[in-house]
Structure 1
Amino acid sequence: MPKKRTSIIVLCVLAIGWGVLLDFMVSNKISNGLIETCSDALKWINGNQLATAIIAAVIAGIILKFIRRKPIASPKEKQPPGTTSETDQPERKVSVEEDRKPIWNVSHPRNPYFTGREGLLASLSESLTSGEPTALTQPRAVHGLGGVGKTQLASEFCHTHRDSYEVVWWVRAEEPTTLATDYGELAVKLGLIAEADAKLAERVDATRDWLNSNGEWLLVLDNAGGPGEVKEYIPNSGSGHTIITSRNATWGGTAKPLKVEILAPEKAVKFLLDRTKQKDKKAAAALAEELGCLPLALEQAGSYMEATGQSLAGYHKLFREQCETLLGHPPGCGDYGETVRTTWEISFSKVKEESPAAVELLNLCAFLDPDNISLVDIVKQGAEHLPAALQKAAGKELELDKAVAALKKYSLLERQDNLLSLHRLVQEVVRERLSGDERTAWAGRVCTLMDEIFPFEWNDPDTWAASSALRPHAQAAAAQAGRLQVSLEQAARLYDKIGCHLHRQAVYKQALAAHQKALQLAENELGQDHEKVAIFANNLGVVLKEMGDYPAAKEHYERALRIDEVIYGPDNPNVGIRVGNLGGVLRAMGDLVGAKEHYERALKIHVNVYGPDHPDVATGVSNLGIVLQDTGDLTGAKEHYEWALRIHEAAYGPDHPTVAIDVNNLGDVHREMGDYTAAKEHYERALRIDEAAYGPDHPAVAIGVSNLGAVLGAMGDYAAAKEHYERALRICETTLGPKHPSMATRLNNLAIVLEKMSDYVGAQDYYEQALRIAEAAYSPDHPEVATVLHNLGELLENMGKLEKAKEHYERALRILRQFLGDDHSKTKATAAFLERVNKKLKD
């Protein structure tokens, strides 16, 4: 037989053999038809070279189509109802999905609760199949914090796209041994190499060669350490796709990065509700926030609640009490194999190997607020309080950058310019890993650091913005020190500074809580009668007065005064401050005589100690001017306000918020004296100062806006007055709440201008609201109540409701006679109005 003919026959025989194998792989049997066809073909081939070539080409084409076929239809395209397989065995239910994945080793089960990553899946799919040259060879490095769901994302991608590949191969890349073993196992699975006959290196080479020369494969290198560990395993040709998951964020040109963030809050809530089959959205939202929307923590929570039947709210409460224990509870679903506590251990170990300063930086961050930790304002400025390695790095830019890079590399924190941020649960685990002594030392160290660098000064607006940036970290540091009962005096002092800053920002509820904490810690650490306790009690009283709780404010002022008089004697400047504050709350409670006595005593103390031109003297002078104005001595009030203004302008300059108080007071007395032009000028100046210092929505601004509205109304511009009163009302309601005493003043003023505009119904509504608030905030017999009663009486008189008007005038007059006496201008005015309405009733 000619040599050429023999070669063709051999080729054809091989092709027929592959055809038989193909038939067997598809149907698990060799059909009789194929056997007969092959037999006839072999007989025919023997005498016909052309036939041999044709048959070989046809069969080779079929085989090639099988080996290199495109993805077949999805599982939805099953046989129509009423038909059976060609083997006529309906009891055998081989799914199309199983039929189409001959090589698949993904051991992670599909997570039925997978949610919130649709965008990432789409981005991953688009980047792998974009058609760009790099998309064919460059891997996608899915990176992020441990527990954020990188492996779960890759697993979901495999399950979602398994029909698009002939081979889907998962490699455990965290250790060199598992990396090489899993990778080389693909060569065995493909039949490229005999398992028993090859060394591991040979299997690895065979796998890489196959990947480089074939397509329709997906390779996942899960939990890779970095480019150096996996670079030799990444195919550099071929038409398959590679996904890498890693905590390492630095991949350079080795892979195209895709960062996985925590879940969006609404997605985290959906996960918790789906996972637990509960419906309490509010509790789910609170728990998701507590867990920082970290997928692993959410799954641990869901697993615990599933096992115990605990509610969302119950788990949240339990977590706040025993977070260390719950962070170690094993998850129960999806591809999560570790707890939050254990999943970061590898990262912590790597950081420790690379940079001792990075370890100390992470410890520092664990005792601060998790967001916006300033390398400049905290780390560098507070360097003297830090351990040796971090203190050294803080003084050298490159060393500090290296420490940050080591933590950023393993996704333990993020850096934006000079600000660091980390996940709150990373903080929890870092604190938990410390020994008891280490934890206490770090808490005390960070509290002392923040106490030293927190810059707030009450009378220095330049410190307010910096204090706002540092306040969350000061609060976190003080809270940790309090929790661990360390550095309590510093923690108390830090809470007091925080409270004063919040007070300046008109965040009164938070200010109150901070001052209460300061007082509590100081009492526990220093005793009930310490000088620091007097300071903190006084400052708590200041906030309570601002909030309208005058009896409680008075109680704290009196306590502070008692302590200081014992420690310093009756004529000390600290005693003068306490006496002056007590006078302020007595005035607010309507006791003008008591207020005047306290103001005069405070002023005498400060003049004797400081002389006539000290800022503390100016405060006493201004306060005395207020009570003089209240009692009708407008000339005396004006003299005191001008005296206070001269001192404050000399001390602070013309544009300080304290100066605005004096200017505003002068506007009041000019308005009451009928000099509206001068009043308007003073009010406008005060308002400019306050808006520049506080912004447009501060209670101090509301006072200036309201006063300007009053003088505009007095000048006949009712529309402008109404606009100003409405703005003042909005500010007060937002910052102070709808039941604050100042709301009565704002509503009363708005009612006045509505009455001037003949809107009697609207005016009556506002007067009545103001009366209810004033009676509840002060007492039914307070001078502020009398003011509203008089105004409401005047409106009722204008509406012709004389009997009702008389009742309001009579009640107002009783109050004014009690507090101001018969000779005060307000008392005389109300008496005259009552006389007029009585005359109308007689007529």
Structure 2
Amino acid sequence: MTSNDRRQSIEASGDRAIAAQHIGIASSGDHAHIEQHVHHWPDSALHPDAEIAPGVDNIPWADPRHPFVGREEALAQLTAEARADHDGPTVQTIRGLAGVGKSTLALHHAHRHRDQYMLRWWITADSPASVASGLADLAFRLNPAFSTTVRSEDAAHWAINWLSAQPDWLLVLDNVEDPAHIRPLLRQSMTGHVLVTTRRDLDRPDSGLCLDLLDDAHSAEVLTALTGHSEAAAELAHELGHLPLALQQAGAYVVQTRGTLSGYLERLRTDPGPLHATVPEGGDPERAVARIWHHTLQAVEERDPWAVQFLRIIAYFAPDDIPRDIIRDEELDPVDVDRALSLLSSYSLITLTPDTVSIHRLLQSVLRAGSSQEADAVRVFATPEDKARADSKLPWRRRQVRRATVRAGAEMRAAGHVLTHFLPVEDAGDPMRWPRWRALLPHAEALFAQAREDQWLLFPELLTATCTHLMSQGLDARARPYAEMLLKASERLYGPDHLPPHLAPVLNLLAMIHRNLGDYPRANELAQRALALCDGQDERMWAETSGALTALATTYRNLGRFEDALRLDWRSVQISLARSGYTPFTSVSLSNLGLSLRGLGRYEEALKVAEQALEISRETLPADHVTNLTNLNNLTIALLDLERHEEAERAGLHALEAAERILDQDHPHLSVALSNLAVVHTRSGRHEEALPIAERAVLLSVRTLGPDHPITLTNVHNLAGIRSELTPGL
């Protein structure tokens, strides 16, 4: 039946037709516009300016089983803004990440202030059709006669006119996907209260109420209230990223399965995918954490596929403070990259600042679970020669290839490639590059935490660089697991007795870590293996050979085997001089040689070598390089051995000044310069002056390295000597 036929039918029944002109929503999308329509309603229809009995609403039920905590401040903000004077309707926006509780906040506001509104109406506004349907339902509720006499489209237009004519109502537009879907409605002259929930930034990023995650205490309170258990509540809340929806689903799952929070936490860490996709019995499958984000990701991917690909890559980084300057794509213009980041931010999938990007840890987990299902088989070859043999047409050459097959998703490999590019091993110990390391180290460690043992073979350069940097910060205990895993993965590929020579640096690195931690037998074993790999390779692998000699000599010195150490150090110096001349390599070799000479009591020779090492490093390295600092410390002790106190004090002061300039104030190696200077003052009889310096050295090394670290033990020994001089009777 046409509109004209309906009008004639109504007139025939005795009703008088009235015509009204209305502004309505004509289209949706980014180019929505407003058209003018003429609609015909029967005289029996309720006039837009007529009053209704209070209490009309369709607000959903608020489940009392779901604890509502940590949102009082947000509720108070909504109330305060709603009471403020506004020209036209009061329009408030609640935006935030999917699952953060936007709809729940709107729901509690509607129930808490039910007496302030004569009508409360809830519309799911994720599409133009749903907005129109919700408005039509409002018209049908206000005038049941419309349900049989008026088209839904006409009823929706009538509802808009009614809202324009009436005050004291609340309209909730929930889950707005696109601002264009509601913009024509909000342009009407209204005097009510419109509350919009959305994942999007509808106008400005700083507009409306941005609903954040729950804090630690409230997150744990939610889990405890749901399950009656507090054990592991805080830890599980952290793992779930303090996301309210995830907390509720986890709590309901634990209750229904008669499980424990710690059991859920263990499953979440080992196999998170199924838990993210699960809702409690009787729950809405569309409200599963993985599902609500899947819908958002689909919407973003339709606009910009690269944006979702970028999310899948940073899922392997730490969630917070990812530097924007490492985000690039050779095939994309920087403007396109910025546009993609803006799109992700507008959907609340990332938090964007001028310098960094952050992403929710639970979204990362969902993205990783999706990527792992598409893992590719990657071949890792033992040597470049093995890779060349693999491409040979000769079957017997292909049979000689040593390789491993590793399954890893493209996104994980891309994350490793980015970090390897920005964290090369040659920069790991350079103080000028430490700010970059501080920014990216958490992301490298997050990548390693997500990788299986065999997948570590994909990132050998990044692992080596990370271990080297951590050692430069005195964080040997933190570096050790990475070096151990790299060696273990390599042994699986090559066999423990068939490691190729190019892995000697890994063994050297691990030997130095164990030596710094005081495990001299293990350090000796690893250094011996490294030297054996380099045996006969002086010409081609002189740097690796020199490093292996230095690592083994250092272990011998710690074991008191100074003659053996001297022999190895001298050979290292000869190789460095022959292959590189007066370079930092030679400076390091000479510095270690001086330590071995000192251990043998050959102090004059040790001083000459220490001076030469410092001269070379100052000529070949930037002034603020840690090698210069090490050589200054060694020179201070060499001068002190010869009782040249004034010169030792000058060198010690220069070393401390350099340490405080180069190193952070909580860097453990700063304690070495402090302790050395304290010893210099003590040898000069200035015990009172030495005491506070020695105490500062001990406090620093205990705080950063622990009480049992060799550096701490040396500092404590020096402090004890100073105190005994001050109180000889003790």
Q: Same fold (TM over 0.5)?
A: yes
Q: Aligned pair 1:679/2:616, yes or no?
A: no
Matches of 1:719 and 1:213 in 2, distance apart? 86
In structure 2, the residue matched to 1:147 is 99
Q: How far apart are 1:327 and its partner, in Å? A: 0.4
In structure 1, the residue matched to 2:519 is 549
After superposition, what is the alpha-carbon deviation per residue over 1:235-267, rounded to whole angstroms, capped at 9, x for unaligned? 7444321111111113359x9521111111221
Q: Which shifted more, 329-338 or 100-109? A: 329-338
Q: Aligned pair 1:347/2:296, yes or no?
A: yes
Q: Aligned pair 1:512/2:465, yes or no?
A: no
Q: Which shifted more, 681-690 or 572-581? A: 572-581
**Counterparts of residues 136-215 of structure 1 (less than 5 Å):** 137-191=89-143, 194-215=146-167
Q: Aligned pair 1:410/2:410, yes or no?
A: no
After superposition, what is the alpha-carbon deviation per residue over 1:781-825, rounded to whole angstroms, capped at 9, x for unaligned? xxxxxxxxxxxxxx5xx45xxxxxxxxxxxxxxxxxxxxxxxxxx
Going by fraction, where is strand more abundant, 1 or 2? 2
**Counterparts of residues 214-363 of structure 1 (less than 5 Å):** 214-234=166-186, 236-251=188-203, 257-280=208-231, 283-331=232-280, 338-363=287-312
Q: What is the one-letter code of the residue matched to 1:436?
A: E
Q: Is the 8 A contact 2:126 2:178 kept in 1?
A: no
Q: Relative to structure 1, is the Cα distance of residues 747 and 449 closer, same or farther in structure 2, using a 3 angstrom cutoff?
A: closer
In structure 1, the residue matched to 2:70 is 116
Q: Is the 8 A contact 2:139 2:155 kept in 1?
A: yes
Q: Aligned pair 1:422/2:341, yes or no?
A: no
In structure 2, the residue matched to 1:698 is 667
Matches of 1:539 and 1:294 in 2, distance apart? 41
Matches of 1:607 and 1:720 in 2, distance apart? 42
Matches of 1:753 and 1:565 in 2, distance apart? 46
Number of residues of Structure 1 aligned to a counterpart in Structure 2: 646
- Which residue of 582, 586, 590 maps to 1:621? 590
Q: How far apart are 1:115 and its partner, in Å? A: 1.3
Q: Aligned pair 1:392/2:392, yes or no?
A: no
In structure 1, the residue matched to 2:466 is 498
After superposition, what is the alpha-carbon deviation per residue over 1:709-746, rounded to whole angstroms, capped at 9, x for unaligned? 12223334333211101110011101110112222222
Q: How far apart are 1:294 and its partner, in Å? A: 1.2
Q: Is the 8 A contact 2:504 2:548 kept in 1?
A: no
Matches of 2:704 and 2:438 in 1, distance apart? 17
Q: How far apart are 1:649 and its partner, in Å? A: 1.1
After superposition, what is the alpha-carbon deviation per residue over 1:464-506, rounded to whole angstroms, capped at 9, x for unaligned? 22122122333344455x43955x5441221111111111122
Q: Relative to structure 1, is the Cα distance of residues 256 and 214 closer, same or farther in structure 2, using a 3 angstrom cutoff?
A: farther
Matches of 1:155 and 1:403 in 2, distance apart? 32
Q: 1:269 aligns to what SS in structure 2?
A: helix
Q: Relative to structure 1, is the Cα distance of residues 718 and 236 closer, same or farther in structure 2, using a 3 angstrom cutoff?
A: farther
In structure 2, the residue matched to 1:580 is 550
Q: Which shifted more, 421-430 or 333-342? A: 333-342
Q: Aligned pair 1:364/2:317, yes or no?
A: no
Percent identity over the alignment is 28
- Which residue of 606, 618, 622 maps to 2:576? 606
**Counterparts of residues 64-83 of structure 1 (less than 5 Å):** none
Matches of 1:356 and 1:335 in 2, distance apart? 28
Q: 1:279 aligns to what SS in structure 2?
A: coil
Q: What is the one-letter code of the residue matched to 2:636?
A: G
After superposition, what is the alpha-carbon deviation per residue over 1:492-531, rounded to whole angstroms, capped at 9, x for unaligned? 2211111111111222222112212222232333443123
Q: Is the 8 A contact 2:606 2:638 kept in 1?
A: yes
Matches of 1:102 and 1:375 in 2, distance apart? 50
Q: Aligned pair 1:449/2:418, yes or no?
A: yes
Matches of 1:189 and 1:650 in 2, distance apart? 87
Going by fraction, where is helix more abundant, 1 or 2? 1
**Relative contact order: is structure 1 or structure 2 higher (C-alpha 8 Å, sep ≥ 6)?**
2
Q: How far apart are 1:346 and its partner, in Å? A: 2.3
- Which residue of 432, 444, 469 maps to 2:369? 432
After superposition, what is the alpha-carbon deviation per residue over 1:390-445, rounded to whole angstroms, capped at 9, x for unaligned? x332xx23212221122122111121014221112222222333451476222223
Q: How far apart are 1:647 and its partner, in Å? A: 1.1
Q: 1:170 aligns to what SS in structure 2?
A: strand
Matches of 2:138 and 2:641 in 1, distance apart? 93
Q: How far apart are 1:318 and its partner, in Å? A: 0.7
- Which residue of 691, 695, 701 maps to 1:732? 701
Q: What is the one-letter code of the residue matched to 2:327?
A: V
After superposition, what is the alpha-carbon deviation per residue over 1:646-665, rounded to whole angstroms, capped at 9, x for unaligned? 11111114442211222222
Q: How far apart are 1:682 and its partner, in Å? A: 0.2
Q: 1:139 aligns to what SS in structure 2?
A: strand
Q: What is the one-letter code of the residue matched to 1:187?
A: A
Q: How far apart are 1:358 and its partner, in Å? A: 1.7
Q: Is the 8 A contact 1:492 1:519 kept in 2?
A: no
- What 5-or-longer segments of structure 2 have no aligned partner? 1-49, 377-407
Q: Is the 8 A contact 2:352 2:358 kept in 1?
A: yes
Q: 1:217 aligns to what SS in structure 2?
A: strand
Matches of 1:532 and 1:213 in 2, distance apart? 81
Q: Is the 8 A contact 1:151 1:335 kept in 2?
A: no
- What 5-or-longer segments of structure 1 have no aligned partner? 1-65, 70-99, 384-390, 759-794, 800-843
Q: How far apart are 1:364 and its partner, in Å? A: 2.4
In structure 1, the residue matched to 2:379 is none
Q: How far apart are 1:697 and its partner, in Å? A: 2.0
Q: 1:444 aligns to what SS in structure 2?
A: helix
In structure 1, the residue matched to 2:691 is 722
Matches of 2:370 and 2:473 in 1, distance apart? 37
After superposition, what is the alpha-carbon deviation per residue over 1:95-153, rounded to whole angstroms, capped at 9, x for unaligned? xxxxx7354442453454111111111111111112x225x614111111111111111
Q: 2:67 aligns to what SS in structure 1?
A: coil
TM, length-normalised to structure 1: 0.72
Q: Is the 8 A contact 1:264 1:293 kept in 2?
A: yes
In structure 2, the residue matched to 1:522 is 490
Matches of 1:409 and 1:610 in 2, distance apart? 55
Matches of 1:521 and 1:141 in 2, distance apart? 52
Q: Is the 8 A contact 2:588 2:627 kept in 1?
A: no
Q: Relative to structure 1, is the Cα distance of residues 223 and 595 closer, same or farther in structure 2, using a 3 angstrom cutoff?
A: same
Q: 1:298 aligns to what SS in structure 2?
A: helix
Q: 1:392 aligns to what SS in structure 2?
A: coil
Q: How far apart are 1:458 and its partner, in Å? A: 4.4
Q: How far apart are 1:325 and its partner, in Å? A: 0.7
Q: How far apart are 1:194 and its partner, in Å? A: 2.9
Q: Is the 8 A contact 1:141 1:251 kept in 2?
A: no
